[in-house]
Chains A and B, each alone.
Chain A
């Protein structure tokens, strides 16, 4: 584990060069989303029939945890795509690491830990912003960060595998368009999945994001159900375990030749 932390240190060092430039935007983006959708769009929905469909809460309260989880997913997907491919294909950081005592598993875990760190940061910023907007009605809301982290890792791990297996970065434009964006839009972050046609609902329920959104929403609303927590956490952990296994296999195939 100590050796994986050495790999993490590299990612923190290179992040140190850029994080100041991103700090403003990392607060601004959630602010804009919540202002536009929570208040703007919300004023239509709250006044109409929508409010009943949302179980009596305001639209702002509904989408705030959804946005947190969906953004955790986006951050994870982005941090696991180009940077991972670059590390074996362009900059070759992984190869430099592997010439030292670090092992393939250290290189993988170190980089995953960095993505986890980035997801945690993003989720924390979101939590602060939605709390300021008054969209968190329970102290359990703090745990929405955990929901964000699990969601992020469930997407990061298979994305790592994809980024190491694929020969070219063109795969990412397809991946973002046909996997990440539809998941972002249709996994219950912006409207309940029950509003979707019945035939596609199972797909939405099978996405890791739906479970992440559901989990985050229970925490911010304070409507905890132990059964649902077990299902959501268990399902996300399943994705993380399978994704990690797949990524480890892909790393070994690519880096050990």
Chain B
């Protein structure tokens, strides 16, 4: 079984600026694939090429076995796109937004009426069906955009930052729906700059930075390969980090100094934390946690990913 999405040396240039610098990606049927990266990494540019709305500058791209440059409309007929901005019509009602979008796919009105009702129930917007989109909250608009992307029963769903800007409750609702879609066999491709989102949802992901892929694998693989099992976070008074980092360097496999804290990467966090106390350093804040993709990213790019 070949890949649903297959990119080789995929490149996007805007004049002389290189937004995506020759990436290789394979996405297989039924998996949840993530592009993780900070602002400007080239995530949306990649998604737009896969979505067949942005021409490939160089390299090859096959989506559903077809070439976007030749079969754009035929590919797009089988994709569901949830763009970074919603692109909803705020003056139309929730239901009208679904119906008209379905018409772009040439679906008959009767089919659409039923499907709109199902999709509104799926994203829990049934009671808002006749409300104007302008009156919806950010989370509701995002759910409507997801419902809209499903109107043509797509094989692949492209979600560009599906939960950015949503409150925790709204995020979890979106995650639930995405997990359910995955169980129904829809292939999901998403971008995010949230580590926890990537860890929760993605079977496989690539970490992007400056238009290139700096690592790829499952969330667990990435953590194993690029971080230790546990991390001790020490919060010191600002300005003292460097000096103190030297004093604790031998307690960890690796030490990372950030503006507001020192991170100790170690297999046994509690032991390292105890050792810090025994040396009488007693930082004002100390936290032992499992390592996360955040640490992987820090390791790979030397930067934190928080907004």
**Residues of chain A whose beta carbon lies under 8 Å from any beta carbon of chain B:** 2-3, 6-7, 9-10, 13-14, 17, 91-93, 95-103, 256-257
- How far, in whole Å, are A26 and B74 apart by their CA atoms in the complex? 42
- Contact status B14-A102, CB under 8 Å: no
* Per-residue A-contact encoding for B81-123, CB less than 8 Å = 1, 0 else: 1010101111110001000110111100000000000000000
CB-based contact B73/A101 at 8 Å: yes
Task: Say whether A10 contacts B72, CB under 8 Å.
Answer: no
Q: Is the CB of B92 within 8 A of A14?
A: yes
| Distance of A7 Cα from B88 Cα, bound (Å) | 15
Contact for A14 among B54, B87, B89, CB less than 8 A:
B89
Q: How far is the CA of A246 from the CA of B285 in the complex (A)?
A: 64
Asked, given contacts A13-B92, A91-B90, A103-B73, whether A97 binds B104 with beta carbons under 8 Å apart, the answer is yes
* Beta-carbon contact of A101 and B53 below 8 Å: no
Q: Is the CB of B54 within 8 A of A100?
A: no
Distance from B112 Cβ to chain A, minimum over Cβ atoms (Å): 12
Asked whether, in the complex, the Cβ of A92 is within 8 Å of the Cβ of B54, the reply is: no
Query: Which residues of B approach A to under 8 Å, CB–CB?
Result: 14, 51, 53-55, 72-74, 76-77, 79, 81, 83, 85, 87-92, 96, 100-101, 103-106, 152
Bound complex: CA of A93 vs CA of B105, how far in Å? 15
Cβ of B105 and Cβ of A100 under 8 Å apart?
A: yes
- Contact between chains at B76 and A100 (CB < 8 Å): yes
User: Does A99 contact B73, Cβ atoms closer than 8 Å?
Assistant: no
- Known A-B contacts: A100-B77, A100-B152, A256-B55. Give 12 more (CB < 8 A): A9-B100, A10-B103, A13-B100, A14-B91, A91-B87, A95-B83, A99-B53, A99-B79, A100-B101, A101-B74, A102-B73, A256-B54
User: Are A93 and B74 also in contact (CB < 8 A) when A98-B53, A102-B104 are?
Assistant: no
Question: Do the beta carbons of B89 and A103 come within 8 Å of each other?
Answer: no
Give 9 closest A-B pairs by Cβ, nearest first.
Answer: A100-B104, A96-B87, A101-B73, A99-B81, A101-B77, A92-B87, A101-B76, A10-B100, A6-B104
A14 to B132, CA, bound (A): 12
Our count of residue pairs bridging A and B at CB distance below 8 angstroms stands at: 66
A5 to B81, CA, bound (A): 22
Q: B73 contacts A13, CB within 8 Å?
A: no
Q: Which of A13, A92, A102, A256 contacts B96 (CB 8 A)?
A: A13
In the bound complex, residues from chain A placing their C-beta under 8 Å from that of B76 are 99-101
Q: Closest approach, in angstroms, between the C-beta of A199 and any C-beta of chain B? A: 45
Q: Which one of B51, B81, B87, B103 lies within 8 Å of A6 (CB-CB)?
A: B103
Q: Shortest Cβ distance from A107 into chain B, in angstroms? A: 10
Q: Are A9 and B14 closer than 8 Å at their CB atoms?
A: no
In the assembled complex, which residues on chain B have CB atoms less than 8 Å from the CB atom of A97?
104
A101–B14 touching, CB < 8 Å: no
| Residue of A10, A98, A256 with highest tally of chain B CB at under 10 A | A98
- Find chain B residues with CB under 8 A from A92 CB: 85, 87
A10 to B100, CA, bound (A): 6
Given contacts A6-B104, A7-B104, A95-B83, contact A257 B91 (CB under 8 A): no
Interchain CA distance A97-B97 in the complex, whole Å: 12
For the complex formed, measure the closest distance between the CB of A10 and the CB atoms of chain B, giving whole angstroms.
Answer: 5
A selection of 8 A-B contacts at a CB cut-off of 8 Å is A6-B104, A9-B100, A10-B104, A13-B92, A14-B92, A95-B53, A101-B106, A256-B53
Residues of B within 8 A of A98 (CB): 53
Q: Are B103 and A9 in contact, CB atoms less than 8 angstroms apart?
A: yes
Give Cα A101 to B54, complex, Å. 14
Are B14 and A257 interface neighbours, CB within 8 A? yes
Shortest Cβ distance from B12 into A: residue: A257
Residues of the B chain whose Cβ atoms lie less than 8 Å from the Cβ of A257:
14, 54
Residues of B within 8 A of A95 (CB): 53, 83, 87
Q: Which of A14, A17, A101 contacts B105 (CB 8 A)?
A: A101
CA distance in complex: A257, B57 (Å)? 10
Please state if B104 and A101 are interface contacts (CB–CB under 8 Å): yes
User: Across the interface, which residues of B come within 8 angstroms of A6, CB to CB?
Assistant: 103-104, 106
Distance (whole angstroms) from the CB of B14 to the closest CB of chain A: 7
Q: How far is the CB of B159 from chain A (nearest CB, A)?
A: 12
A-chain residues with CB within 8 Å of residue B92 when the two chains form the complex? 13-14, 17
Closest residue on chain A to residue B85 by CB atoms: A92
Whether the Cβ atoms of B104 and A93 lie closer than 8 Å is no
| Complexed CA–CA distance, A102 and B73 (Å) | 7
B88: chain A residues at CB < 8 Å are 96
Partner of B83, one of A14, A91, A99: A99
Also in contact, A99 and B51, with CB within 8 A (given A13-B96, A91-B89, A92-B87): yes
How many angstroms between the C-alpha atoms of A99 and B85 in the bound complex?
13
Chain B residue at smallest Cβ distance from A94:
B87
Report chain A residues within 8 Å CB of B81.
99
User: For the complex, what is the distance from the CA of A38 to the CA of B239, rounded to whole Å?
Assistant: 84
Interface centre among A6, A7, A100, A257 (most CB of B within 10 A): A100
